[in-house]
Each structure stands twice: as structure tokens, then as C-alpha cells.
Structure 1
Amino acid sequence: MKLNVGLDVSSEKLDACFLGDEPQDIYLETSFSNDTVGASKIKQKVLELNTKYNFERIIIGMEATSIYSFHPALFFENDEDLINLKVKTFVENPRSIKKYAESYDEDKTDRNDAFFVADYFRIGRGKKSIIREEKYLALQRLTRARYQMVEQMAKTKQHFLQNLGYKVNTLTKELAKGSSTSVFSATVIDLMTEDLSLDEIAEMPLEKFAELIQKRGRGRFKDPEKLAKTIKKAIRSSYRLGKVMTESIDTILGIQAREIRSLKKSIKEFDKAIEDLVQTMPEHKCLESIPGVGPVYAGGILAEIGQIERFTNQAGLAKYAGLTWKKHDSGKHQSENTPLRRTGNHFLRYYLVEAANSVIRHVPEYKAFYQMKAAEVPRNKHKRAVTMTARKFTRLVYTLLSEHQLYMPQKEVYKDKS
């Protein structure tokens, strides 16, 4: 006999269904509070039923609902009494259980939802528990928070760029043509948001302006005079704003510049915390042995994958990351413009793509693959090529982690069990 406990989790309660070997074998359907008191009552009920029936297998399953399922899942996974009974705790993708529930064509209620979860695990749909050690969950909190900070940085930079276009509408174009310095260089941002007006910069002698740039850049510019000329040219060719509009834009740029500096500092702090934590995980050496993959990218990948044993092959890992494409065939025609599926773990996809983009610059094989894919289409070259390179990179990640190997240039042998 088997016991399958399905939990429908919300912020305040745990709707539970205690299900046996068949759909009609319902031992109990009721609700508990989503706290240690409620979880303890569920545990006690499991122990009571096991004393009576002596189950061969006990599963406690629930949907992944962010922080709401996090605490009860850890509670059941780490409870010594449940560990002694070899109780397995599963947290499943809500999408999978929803598709399964649709086959019943029943009304959606909390009690029904708990039954569907229990029945889902009763038929053996849950293959691997995704509950991991605390350090992996802690790493995931850091890497996901960093991801959100990077997203916020991208939005802030975009807004800064839009407002800078009002002040100096040709600066971005002139820097792209005449300098390797980015518009988001700390020095350029300082010049555009501090006390000097555009007219003062335009009228300043070139030599003096170059000295100012070198001073602000702490001597890092190889050719400050060239950069000074480029900025002056942009200022001279840009439209001028009225006094009221100038003050408004300057205020916005100043605030956004401070936000960019703050975000940069915060991201560095996240990077340091991730680097410190990932060193406690032996698998990081496998990923960091790949040229271009540092502790942050390794940490982001490990935090989302968890146990590599959850995946039977590299294709399963790629699907989990959302690195698969929809097929678009019609007769003998096969479209080259196939969209990426909008499913999967977008955090894992982000870190795989970012890591692959870095590997391209360090590993000739991946650079050649990227260039080949970029040359295949006339549009969206980089986005398509780097995503396909990330798919190739996923095979390498799977192999190294599953075989506990270090990266060996030009000697990669992919183990695909599919």
C-alpha cells in the first residue's frame, strides 16, 4: 500500500488530500494552516495512518508556489520522523499538474486541487524530488536577486539613454563612431550629469577638457584628447533645450545616474556573496573549468539545476531551461524562423545564455559555432546565434556535471542518454 499526500498551498492554508492506491481510496480531505502548527498536524496524520496501514511508500507532494510552498516543503523534507519513514517530498511545476487536472474535467476548487496533486503523484508522475540542501536554496536566493538587479539596471540605463537623447541627441552616435568609450562610462555619465553645462564644455579648450576627462577617469583613457573631440563634436551638433526643459532633464539624469551607481555597487556585492557561497559546492569546479565561466555564472546555473540526476539526458535539461524551439513545417518546407518556446526556467536560461556569451570569447569551438549560426539568417543574428550556442553549451554543462569531469578543450564527449 502507498500513501500520497497532495497539498494545495496558499499563503494562509494547506488543503490536503490523503490518497491511497486508487482514486477512490481517500483517507482524509481537510485543511490546515500554512505554518508550523498546520504542518505538524499533517505530519502527525501521516504517522497515524502509517501505524495503521504500514505503507510501502509515502509521498508528500505540492505545487511550486514560490515562498508559500518553500517552508512546508523544507519542513517535511527535514523532519527526522518522516526521514526515518523514508517519506519523499516533491515540489512539482504547477503547469504539469494543471494539464493533468484538465483530463478530469472537474470544477476547480481548493479541495479538488489537493486531490489532483495527490493523484498526480499516485500514478508516478513525480520522478525526482527538487528539494535541495539549504546551501543550494540560499544560492538560488542570491542568484535570482542578482538577476532581478541586472534587469533593473538594464531598465534604468534605457531610461537614462532616452533622457540623455533630449540633452545631447547625437552623443551615442558620435561615441559609437569615434571612440571605444561607452555612453555609460562613469566618466561620461559624470560629465553629462554634473555642474558643467553643455556650452561650458563646448567652449572649454580641447587640452583642458582632455585633462579633465583623464582626471575623472583616473588616468585610464589611452587617448583622452580623441574622446574630448568626440564629445565636443556631439555637443556642437546637438539641439539645444530651453531653460525649463534643461533643468527638468538634468534633474532626471542626475537621479538616474545615482541609481546606476547604486545598482553597480549592489551587483558587485551580490557577485561577492555568490562567489563565497559557491565555493562550498564541489560541482562549481566542473563549470568553472570552462574558459569564460566564473563563479557567478556557475552559481546561477547550479542554483537552478540542483541535482543533475533529476535529468535523464541533456535534452531534458535544455527543455527545463526553455532552450527548445517550436517546429514550423509545411509540406516539404521547413521554416528557418522558428520561435523559442516561452516555457521553462527563465533564471536558468538567463545564466546559460550569459555564460555561453562569455564562453564564445574564450573557446574557439564555440566562437566558430556562434559565427556559423549568425551567418545563417539576415535578421536577429546575435540573439539567435547566442541562444543556439547556449543550447550547445547546455550539452557540455550536462556532461561535466553528470560525469563529475573538468572541461578538456577539443576533447569533449557528450553523454546523451536520450
Structure 2
Amino acid sequence: MKLFVGLDVSSFDIKVCFLNGEGKQLSSFTVANDLPGATQLRDEILRITSNQSVRELRIGLESTSVYSFHPSMFLHNDESIRALGGQVLVMNPKQIANFKKSYSDMDKTDEIDAFVIADYLRFGRLPMSVVKEEQYVALQQLTRARYQIVRQITQEKQRFLQYLSYKCNTFTEEVESSVFGKAMMDLFLENYSLDELSQMSLEDLANYLQSKGKNRFPDPKHVAKSIQKAVRSSYRLDKVVEDSIDAILSTSITLIRTFEKQIKELEKSIERIMKGVPQTIQTIPGIGPVFTAGIIAELGQIDRFSDETKIAKYAGLYWRKHQSGRFTADDTSLSRNGNQYLRYYLVEAANSVRRQIPEYSEYYAKKYQEVPKHQHKRALVLTARKLVRLVDALLRKNQIYTPKGA
């Protein structure tokens, strides 16, 4: 017996459709999207397959964020489903939407969507990922949370610089030190007016910076001079406006420091999980713990992918082909499909690796010179595509990186 189970998941229920190997609908029903509902679904699968020799059991559902997570993990981990050789597969909604276009006479209903998902499973072309093991799911949640907070920090720093330009419009041009260092942040929290800073003795300002910076300034007097030069050449604000800007800057500094603290806490949790995850890609020069955790979290078990081409497609590291007759377009866009997080980590890792490994540096330079437009972006994506082959080989063979010729 072949059984294909299509699930259309929403926040409150799951529409279910059972198809056999010939496409005949065996059952269609709805259960609640909760533990009792998932248990009822499991029991119905077991009832349908009882006293049957199950040759194939596939359960498919679209990736719908948190709504699909719990039922997919419940069925994936269920011992009775595993005993039947059942596979739980989470699919890209775009793939299902494109497949559904072949059913021109169908309306848009959840019951029909469940049927389409089951039928898609029946046809056997599965550009999708099997549900990951728990440790990878946990790691993915942590790395994605870190990714989002890093983006929030970037946005907050941009906002901070915007308001800093109101208070002291020449600061970032004149001051030869990071605006976001501890000493500078503490200085802004003091809410000094520009006149107070300009009148402060150079010695006192230098000592303040050295104390707050924990003696990390090689020449604190030089930095103090540049600060006073900036404040003396900047426009002055009305007192009420300057006070409001100071309040905003203080709030922004508090947010940035809170985000940075949260990132450190997340990194501790990521590090704990990574100790139990088999991987060798951190041995590649240029790939540190952040890129490693991000790549591993999105890939999961390497045997989910038959080869490195599937990983590249899953990450969206390919260009669409545009061909008609004898014409083939030269300028085509990078695919917008794929896992955006995996693509981000692979591209960022490739940018780091090319600075460390001559082979990748030369490859990047070669690809950069091949086209007149989008040179850096194209070369970097192609370098990331090359890196995929190395990542796949090291993980699949559980080998550490060995430089060529070593």
C-alpha cells in the first residue's frame, strides 16, 4: 500500500486528505491543530494502514511558520509512524501554488489544498526538506533569533547616528574613534552640552576616555582633541531641542547595549548545542562559530540532501535561465527562492573565506572580471556556490579541512 497524506495547516485546525498510489481519495477530514487533534490524525493513519503492507507513507504540509511546526514534529517523532517508514516533509508554499495551477477547474479551499498537497507527494518530485531532528530545530531557532537581533542593532545604530548628527553634526567626520565604543557611549549618556564639552579641560576629557575605555586608547589626548574640535565646529541647538535629542540618544544607547547583551546570551546557548552537533566546517579558514552555527542550523542533517547541488538549490544559489529557441539571455537574476538564512550565511562565509584561502580569492577575482555588471554580487554568490561543495564534502565525509597541496 502507498499512502499520501496532505495537510493544510492553519492556526486553529488541520485539513487532511488521504490518497492512495492511484490517486484515489481514501478519506478527508478536519482535526484541531493541537495535541489531541494531531493524536487523532496519527490514529487515523494507523487505522487506514492496519493489516496492510505499507510500501510508502508520505505526510506533507506547507511551511507556515509556527503553525506547521508542532504537527510536523509530532508526526516526525511518533514511533508508530516511524515503524511504518513514514516520512514527514515540509514544503515550500510556492511549489504547491505552482503545482496547483495545473488544476485549472479547482477553487481555493482548504480541503482542496490538502488534496493538492497529497497529490504533489504522489507524483514523487519532492524539492523539499524532511523535518529536522530536535537539536537542529533548537539551533535554528537560536541562530535565527540572533540574526534578527543583529539586524535590529544595525537599524538602531543607524538611528543613533542620525540623531547624533543633530546634536553634533561634525562628530563622525572629526572624531578618530568608534562612536559605538564603551567610552564614547558613556560620554553621550552624561548628556553634556556642546558648550560644556568644548570648555572641559583637555586633560580631564582624556582621563575620562581612558578610564571609561579601560586604558584601550593608544592616545587618549589625540581623541579628546578631535572631540573638542568637532563640538566647537558644530551647530548649536536650542536648549529644549538639545535635551530631547539627549533623551533619544540615551534611549538608543540603552537599546543597543540590551541587544548586545541578548546576543551574548544567545551565543552561549548556541555554543552549548553546537558541542553536541557533529560538524567539521569550522576548520575552514574564515568560517568562525557564528557562520558555522548558522549554516549547520539551516542544513540540519547532511543526509537530508542527496548531493551538493540540492544544497545550492535549497539556499537559492543559482540564476534563472531564460531561453527561447536559439536565444539565451546573458543577464538573468539570482533566484529569489530558497532559504534566505542559509543563503545569507553561505554568502557571508564565502566573503570571509576568500580573504583567507588563495584558491577562493583567485576564483572570486576570475568571476569578478567575467561580466561588466553586478560584478561583486555575482562573484561572491558564485564563490558561495563553490563553498557549498566544500561544506558538503566535509560534512558528508566528516573530514577536517586540508589545504590543497598540504
Q: TM-score, normalised by structure 2?
A: 0.91
Distance 2:363 2:227 in 1: 38
Q: Structure 1 residue 110: deviation in Å?
A: 0.4
Aligned twin of 1:136: 136
Distance 2:323 2:241 in 1: 54
Q: Say which of 229, 236, 242 aligns to 1:240.
A: 236
Aligned twin of 1:26: 25
Deviations 1:26-67 (A, max 9, x none): 111111111121112222221221125433222111111121
Aligned twin of 1:44: 43
What amino acid is aligned across from residue 183 of structure 1 in structure 2? V
What amino acid is aligned across from residue 116 of structure 1 in structure 2? V
Distance 2:228 2:333 in 1: 44
Residue 344 of structure 2 corresponds to residue 350 of structure 1: yes
Does the 8 Å contact 2:11/2:67 carry over to 1? yes
Distance 1:123 1:379, change over 3 A: closer
Deviations 1:92-134 (A, max 9, x none): 1111111111111211100000000100001112367521211
SS of equivalent to 1:54: coil
Distance 1:378 1:261 in 2: 42
Q: Structure 1 residue 294: deviation in Å?
A: 2.4
Distance 1:392 1:191, change over 3 A: farther
Unaligned residue ranges in structure 1 (runs of 5+):
413-418
Residue 158 of structure 2 corresponds to residue 162 of structure 1: no
SS of equivalent to 1:334: coil
Q: Please, what is the CA RMSD of the aligned residues?
A: 2.5
Aligned twin of 1:146: 146
Distance 1:382 1:157, change over 3 A: farther
Does the 8 Å contact 2:91/2:127 carry over to 1? no
Q: Structure 1 residue 379: deviation in Å?
A: 8.1
SS of equivalent to 1:5: strand
Q: Structure 1 residue 157: deviation in Å?
A: 0.8
Distance 1:356 1:191 in 2: 38
Q: Structure 1 residue 399: deviation in Å?
A: 2.1
Distance 1:332 1:57 in 2: 41
Aligned twin of 1:293: 287
Residue 225 of structure 2 corresponds to residue 229 of structure 1: yes
Distance 1:265 1:206, change over 3 A: same
Deviations 1:7-30 (A, max 9, x none): 10111111000101223x111111
Q: Say which of 218, 235, 246 aligns to 1:250.
A: 246
SS of equivalent to 2:48: helix
Aligned twin of 2:113: 113
* Total equivalences in the alignment: 403
**What percent identity do the matched residue pairs reach?**
49
Q: Structure 1 residue 358: deviation in Å?
A: 3.1
Q: Which one is further off, 123-132 or 36-45?
A: 123-132
Residue 71 of structure 2 corresponds to residue 77 of structure 1: no
Distance 1:15 1:332 in 2: 43
Does the 8 Å contact 2:294/2:345 carry over to 1? yes
Does the 8 Å contact 1:7/1:62 carry over to 2? yes
Distance 1:64 1:392 in 2: 28
Distance 1:380 1:289 in 2: 31
Does the 8 Å contact 1:288/1:298 carry over to 2? yes
Distance 1:127 1:328 in 2: 21
Q: Structure 1 residue 387: deviation in Å?
A: 4.1
Q: Structure 1 residue 327: deviation in Å?
A: 5.5
Does the 8 Å contact 2:321/2:329 carry over to 1? no
Aligned twin of 1:195: 191
Distance 1:173 1:367 in 2: 33
Aligned twin of 2:256: 260
What amino acid is aligned across from residue 251 of structure 1 in structure 2? A
SS of equivalent to 1:409: coil
Distance 1:174 1:372 in 2: 39
SS of equivalent to 2:297: helix
Distance 1:327 1:242 in 2: 59
Aligned twin of 1:122: 122
What are the within-5 Å matches in structure 2 for residues 11-22 of structure 1?
A: 11-22=11-22
Does the 8 Å contact 1:59/1:88 carry over to 2? yes
